[in-house]
Amino acid sequence: MKKFLIILAGLVLVACIGIIAVAAIGGLGFTQPAANTADAFMSALQQGNYAQAYALCAPALQQELGTADDLQTLIENAQVKPAKWTFNSREVSGNEGQVEGNVTFQDNRTGAVRITLQSSGNVWQVIGFDLKPG
């Protein structure tokens, strides 16, 4: 009887670990499209491709920014052109998402990055961003 209970407890533990793993992987998959868009936005800024970064923005943010050239002016005047970054937090609720992480700027200063996104259909667009030197 004792051996049976030990085996049963082991099976329950394995099942719980499996359920947690599936939930975690599924959660990452759910947030991946938003994170991909955020990464593409940061890559475009890093490469100085402001037209591409601007194209990844939702129409309301584009209107707020003005033009791709205005986005370039904003990034360069604030000296927040990214060199490298990592996203360590990502969250999606309904059709809105947010990714946050750490960024190193072109001049080797470090800071924080937060990108807010919204999906329309299957397309995620940037609706806000904050590149904040530490």
Read off the pLDDT of residues 20-50 as tens digits, 9 standing for 90 and up. 433 343 444 668 999 999 999 999 999 999 9
How many separate helices (H) and strands (E) can be counted in the chain? Answer: 4, 4
pLDDT at 121: 86
Reference 107, options 127, 80, 132, 130; nearest CA is: 80
Which residue ranges make up each domain of the chain?
2-133
105, pLDDT greater than 60: yes
18, pLDDT greater than 90: no
pLDDT at 31: 86
Q: What is the mean pLDDT of the chain?
A: 87
The CATH code that applies to domain 2-133 is 3.10.450.100
